[in-house]
Amino acid sequence: MFRRSQDLFVVLLAAALTSAAHAQSDRPVAYITVLTGDGTTRDDGTPVPTGDTAFSDESHGLRPGDGVRTTDSDSAVVALPDFGTVVHLGPASELRIDRALQLENALPAALTLLKGQAQVVQRPSEARWMLLAAAHEERRAYTLSKGASLVVRVEADEIRFTVTVGEAQFFSGAIPDGAVLDASGRPAGGWGVPIPEGHTLSTKNPAQTLPEADAARSAGERLSSDCFRFALRKSAQWVERAEQGDFTPVRGPARGAAQFFAAGLTAEFAFDQPRSQVVAPAPRAPATAITTPQVNQARALIESGIPTSVVVGQRLRRSRIIGNPGTTGGQIRFNPSAEQLIRLPGGDR
């Protein structure tokens, strides 16, 4: 369940950002989005906009060498749309985007967690290696994986890698200065310690993996909860903007105060705020009144075939006036169902 939801989230978020990412040639490799608080900053302390500021490369983009930090009560999502990868950065965490080898079988960006916790979800069909590293004081470690999802945690005395989907290769120590992959696309220093799905490996014991069954469920719940809170927040901002007049008609100040009825009780309609061509109403064809033909009640009673109804219909057909003229205040009206029984030549004139 969580594996399918994570994969779907990566596909949707990457597709939504890919069109914006291809707008510039010198575009960022990652974007900051799904912010649950107001305290997320870049590594240089610049706040990341969370209000009505438009999403852009400059305000939310990350290039190699940039980083992002969250406070104790905030979280953020860093998406790499061109590489089908999404990073859910937890509270009190710090992530840096590094430049990796420019090889066809490896992603050009490496992810390094310096503090806290991060969940990294990669597109299962991705055939390129992803380099995920962690560094804290003197401790260093990194993993190589393809189409896998991992949870990495940097704690006070250890670094832990948990694979929730797929498999990863664990390497103890810092990322080598030379080539990480050889020409054939394999790890240059040989294969590391494999971490199968649902297992954890710690720098305290880098030769043994331990099962961790709840890692995928807890990580998926946190990601879903943060995305839901972000959606609610943005929806509330949209309603506030609508109440302030961004999406409603605005009366021009030169026209004065609105009146309930204009002169001669003629209605006036004006839309003083400019409207885009997308929401402008299309011209309508002139309305045509639809009239329903009047049904002759006498004829309907006669054609019913019921004896009593036929008698009433015949009498109603011959009556010219309906009412009781012998009573005071009685209403007399012409019978609309009456039919002319005798027609004389020239009688219409």
Residue 84 has pLDDT above 70, yes or no: yes
Note the pLDDT of residue 25.
Answer: 44
The model's pTM is 0.60
Residues spanned by the domain of 310: 297-334
Note the pLDDT of residue 8.
Answer: 45
220, 301: one domain: no
- Are 209 and 162 a contacting pair, CB within 8 Å? no
Domain count, the chain: 2
Whole-number CA gyration radius for the chain = 38
β partners of residue 163: 150, 199
Note the pLDDT of residue 318.
Answer: 74
Domain end point (choices 224, 256, 283): 224
102, 186: one domain: yes
Question: Would 65 be classed as within a structural domain?
Answer: yes
Question: Would 290 be classed as within a structural domain?
Answer: no
Question: Would 306 be classed as within a structural domain?
Answer: yes
Using the CB atoms, write b or e for 305-334: b if 16+ within 10 Å: eeeeeeebbeebbeeeeeeeeeeeeeeeee
Question: Would 266 be classed as within a structural domain?
Answer: no
Note the pLDDT of residue 331.
Answer: 62
Decide: residue 347, CB within 10 A, 0-12 exposed, 13-18 middle, 19+ buried.
exposed
Read off the CATH number of the domain in which 113 is found.
2.60.120.1440
Domain end point (choices 184, 207, 224): 224
Domain end point (choices 174, 206, 224): 224
Residue pLDDT, tens place only, 9-58: 444 454 444 444 443 446 788 999 888 888 899 999 999 887 655 677 88
- Are 169 and 194 a contacting pair, CB within 8 Å? yes
Question: Would 309 be classed as within a structural domain?
Answer: yes
326, 190: one domain: no
d(CA 333, CA 321): 6
91, 208: one domain: yes
Question: Would 328 be classed as within a structural domain?
Answer: yes
Residue pLDDT, tens place only, 152-191: 999 988 999 999 999 999 999 988 877 788 878 888 888 9
Question: Would 256 be classed as within a structural domain?
Answer: no
